[in-house]
Amino acid sequence: MTVSCPKITRAQLETQCAQIGLSPGDMVMAHASLRCVGEILGGPDVLIDAILQAIGADGTLMVYVGCQLPFDDVGRGIFDRDAEAFILENCPTFDPTTARASRDFGALSELFRTRPGVVCSGNPGCRMAASGARADWLTQNHPLNYGLGENSPLERLCQAKGKVLLLGSDPDAVTLLHYAEALAPIPDKKKVHIKARLLVAGERTWVDIEEFNSSTGIRDWKDRFFADIVQLFLSQSLGVSGTIGNATAHLLDANRLVEFAIPIMVAEAKRLDESQI
């Protein structure tokens, strides 16, 4: 029996990262489908190594890791009353330094979270992991309320003139667009009120958290609304596209994407309101 040898090398990945526009000192938030990138000689950690090499010692890499069920799911309406009561009675305390990444975010999130030197923010569902020169600055003091909005790692990514890197990932899952939702001047945004068991001043405590609804959006957006925004952004040559491994890759300026998305969201919210009159 013969086994096919992975043909994607670190040298190839480093070259492709540079070609798409990653450069020393960059702060970048990465989303990746490892399946789309393909089999890498040395495994998927080599992809992370290549990105870190491209942005250099002064750069910073951030990945959305969140948490697994049910650390921040009481109050979201995904469990019935009996299940929520069971969780409230038995759920362990969330530890941002050791809790696994959300399985919904793909293998890269957990692979990255467990690398030496990676630090994580303290908001369970909105938890970000980062490595590099400004990792601590990105992740420190992550607000529990509205954890994808003001004062969040997403806002700091924009403040630092950062970038978003998509590696074969679904454009409908670009987390930064939740920050655009938080900023958009839209009335009656949908919110959720959840509970998370955290360690507060040495005590295990159920903490009430309020946030915009990131599961279905601040409004009843049409299906794949975020993907439409990203594709329109790319169609206007506002991002850089290329290939990394076997995956189609896009590098997006974080501030430009947020500024581009907000008026689209405002217009769509107005259209939804008018359709209900």
Question: From the centroid of its chain, how far is CA 1?
Answer: 41
Q: What predicted TM-score, i.e. pTM, was given to this entire model?
A: 0.96
Q: What is the pLDDT of residue 189?
A: 97
Measured CA distances, 162 to 38, 70, 253 (Å): 26, 31, 6
Render each residue's pLDDT in the chain as its tens digit; 277 residues: 788 899 999 999 999 999 999 999 999 999 999 999 999 999 999 999 999 999 999 999 999 999 999 999 999 999 999 999 999 999 999 999 999 999 999 999 999 999 999 999 999 999 999 999 999 999 999 999 999 999 999 999 999 999 999 999 999 999 999 999 999 999 999 999 999 999 998 899 999 999 999 988 999 999 999 999 999 999 999 999 999 999 999 999 999 999 999 999 999 999 999 998 7
Measured CA distances, 50 to 30, 47, 119, 191 (Å): 12, 5, 19, 39
Nearest residue to 101 via CA among 127, 121, 138: 127
Q: What is the C-alpha separation between 208 and 124, in angstroms, rounded?
A: 12
Q: What is the C-alpha separation between 230 and 233, in angstroms, rounded?
A: 5
